[in-house]
Structure 1
Amino acid sequence: MEKTVVILGGELAPEGRAVLEDAGVNVVATPPYINRQAIIEVMNLHKPDAVIVRLLTDLLGPEEMQAGGRLRHIAKHGVGTNDIDVKAATALGISVSMTTGSNGHSVAEHALALIMALVKDLPRQDALIRDGIWDKNQYNGRELRGQHLGLVGFGFIGQALAKMAGAIGMVVSAFDPHTPDSAFSDDTRRETDLDTLLAKSDIVSLHCPLTAETQNLIDARRIGLMKQGAFLINTARGEVVDEKTLIAALEEGHLAGAGLDSFAVEPPGIDNPLFQLPNTLVTPHVAGVTLDAKRAVSVMSAENVLAVFGGETLHPRFLAR
């Protein structure tokens, strides 16, 4: 029987779709940010054996999973499964995979780009010149060498960024209670207390997953612990940060700036105050979807689906639990 895969929330890169179609799979793609009622309708119409999850407006829950009656596997196009009810999937006997490591370098490079642009005062300098102002006295750029970078989360992405930052001459430490000691070295010191990490860092970069424990992890108290004039970088999930408190800290000048690739609500409203502040640099959750990464993520998610169809057991690092 021909297998059907529905891509929920946007198309795959052509190379990923080709992996499925070359294996004889029928592929159907929906528009980005599809809501749960539309998902149920698509599932009932096409009765997929697997879905690949990209951009949704709602949590993919048990009702959607059971619609169509044939779903065996959910493949996340990326590594964050906060938009999938993994517990419900497990209870229904539906496996959930991630594309672990496929876009990590792209995310780490994006975080570094946000750091460099903000610390070097590039957005403001660009705006001044476009307004006809050529005044070197208004340049507030700093050297990155010697600056303390604090990483919250030290998985693949955090480790990749640590190597990049260390090569520049930054001092790097990381907080991650789940990463083994073997991942740390003299170049990246383990910090066992998050509050201490925040208090001593010139730049804080977030690389933790969104869980019940990390939601609003960076709240009013913790932002208050950060250095006057520090920078916050978020290429993780928007809900890890209390946005209202962040906005206040940026407006009051407690934080010098924020580089944000993710937001509490996506897509965010055009009236989001973060977009109006002169000391923010924002991107539309694209850190992990460079052309190179999108190809790699699309191919890996397609290969995970085919592996399940073929009766293979995926390596634990690819499985969400």
Structure 2
Amino acid sequence: MKVFVTQRIHPKGIEILESVAQVTLNDSGFPLSRQQFLKEISEADALIVVSNYEIVDREALDAAPRLKVIARHGVVYDNVDIAEATNRGICVTCCPVHSPTVADMTFALICTAARRIHLADQAVRNGRWATNPGAIRDQLTGVDVTGSTLGIIGFGRIGVELAKRARAFDMRIICNDPVHNDVFGRDLGVEWVTLPELLRESDFVSVNCSLTRETYHLIGTKELGMMKRSAIIINTSRGQIIDEDALCRALQEGVIGGAALDVYSDEPPSIYSPLLELDNVVLAPHLGSATVELREKMARVVAEDVVRALGGWRPIYLVNLDVMKIRALPEAVD
């Protein structure tokens, strides 16, 4: 059997895969072109999709007639045609083990933007602090996180983990989600509000919902205009949830105080993006899950599910449960 991995993963995952299959890995450090991708998956029995660059649609599935499992090395699988994979009896899995680590990153972005740490680092490195220390202290005065109001849009796994961290900072936590997770919400002191209420009352707005048709450009010019002029918006979910053009205008015109982004409408963003010229924005290159410990765990979890699927067993993190109507997938006995 053959497994194709679209980008590098932790060696532990490769080791697990090689115990049952021949593994081919795109080790270039760059996403494959569409033509290269289709060629590489043509003989694959399993496909591990590491990022959202590769689109696994009908064309890709036609090019890979031997596929038994598509494993997403991450929690979001909107680049995989789930319905078509299910119709063909192909298992689709994801890897929802990253929530605490992404919540850490989100809170780090909150603190960085609030205390302007990104600009402070530059001031030390470029000598501005040494030449004019008094002015630097005045220019880089930030705002408190402790005691402020955090608005969380989307109270799933990451939203819950973020609320735990916010509670330790004595923040007021308000949330907007179609589904009220009262079990965790009650314990964490969460207040359920409408989206306009959240935007008007929050000092920090964290976008943690999934990208769907309903949430595409959920935050646009109108919504940004509802926020406090001092408010900071943070996005570690999906770039397309925020209208990036509207966000740039709001930041340039002082409609809101700032932003901290780990995700973008296009990744990586254009070198000509106005975001790169703004001091009131903290930018990170989609590092939400980028820790040594989590990357090893993700690779292991993904690889173990691939091994289960190739062996005819039910993967633990099977996304398309309806595939079991087409092919028998007994529960594995580990």
TM range (shorter): over 0.9
Q: CA deviation at 1:186?
A: 5.0
Secondary structure at 2:308's aligned position in 1?
Answer: helix
Alignment partner of 2:81 out of 85, 93, 98: 85
- Between 1:80-89 and 1:11-20, the stretch displaced more is 80-89
Unaligned runs of at least 5 residues, structure 2: 322-334
Is 1:105 aligned to 2:100, yes or no?
A: yes
Report the equivalent of 2:110.
115
Q: CA deviation at 1:179?
A: 4.9
Identity of aligned residues (%): 33
Secondary structure at 1:185's aligned position in 2?
Answer: helix
Alignment partner of 2:16 out of 15, 19, 22: 19
Report the equivalent of 2:119.
124
Report the equivalent of 1:160.
161
- Between 1:27-36 and 1:195-204, the stretch displaced more is 27-36
CA deviation string 1:88-137 (max 9, x = no partner): 2223222211111x221111000111100111121222233324231222
Report the equivalent of 1:95.
91
Is 1:287 aligned to 2:288, yes or no?
A: yes
CA contact under 8 A between 1:223 and 1:249: conserved in structure 2?
yes
CA–CA separation in structure 2 for the residues paired with 1:218 and 1:278: 21
CA–CA separation in structure 2 for the residues paired with 1:69 and 1:228: 54
CA–CA separation in structure 2 for the residues paired with 1:191 and 1:96: 33
Q: CA deviation at 1:87?
A: 2.4
TM score, norm. by length of structure 1:
0.92
CA contact under 8 A between 2:20 and 2:307: conserved in structure 1?
no
CA–CA separation in structure 1 for the residues paired with 2:239 and 2:277: 17
CA contact under 8 A between 1:75 and 1:96: conserved in structure 2?
yes
Report the equivalent of 2:133.
134
CA–CA separation in structure 1 for the residues paired with 2:180 and 2:80: 24
CA contact under 8 A between 2:155 and 2:181: conserved in structure 1?
no
1:1-321 pair list within 5 angstroms: 3-8=1-6, 10-21=7-18, 23-30=19-26, 31=28, 32-44=30-42, 47-100=43-96, 102-129=97-124, 130-132=126-128, 133-135=132-134, 136-315=137-316, 318-319=318-319
CA–CA separation in structure 1 for the residues paired with 2:180 and 2:293: 27
CA contact under 8 A between 1:99 and 1:301: conserved in structure 2?
yes
Seen in structure 2, the aligned counterparts of structure 1 residues 71 and 301 have a Cα distance that, compared at 3 Å, is same
Seen in structure 2, the aligned counterparts of structure 1 residues 96 and 202 have a Cα distance that, compared at 3 Å, is same
CA contact under 8 A between 1:36 and 1:64: conserved in structure 2?
no
CA contact under 8 A between 1:210 and 1:239: conserved in structure 2?
yes
CA–CA separation in structure 1 for the residues paired with 2:31 and 2:197: 38
Tell me the amino acid that sits aligned with residue 37 of structure 1: Q
CA contact under 8 A between 2:51 and 2:74: conserved in structure 1?
no
Q: CA deviation at 1:69?
A: 1.3
Tell me the amino acid that sits aligned with residue 36 of structure 1: R
CA RMSD between the two structures: 1.7
CA–CA separation in structure 2 for the residues paired with 1:320 and 1:228: 43
CA–CA separation in structure 1 for the residues paired with 2:277 and 2:50: 28
Unaligned runs of at least 5 residues, structure 1: none
Tell me the amino acid that sits aligned with residue 178 of structure 2: P
CA contact under 8 A between 1:195 and 1:225: conserved in structure 2?
yes
Secondary structure at 2:200's aligned position in 1?
Answer: helix
CA–CA separation in structure 2 for the residues paired with 1:310 and 1:179: 39
CA contact under 8 A between 1:195 and 1:222: conserved in structure 2?
yes
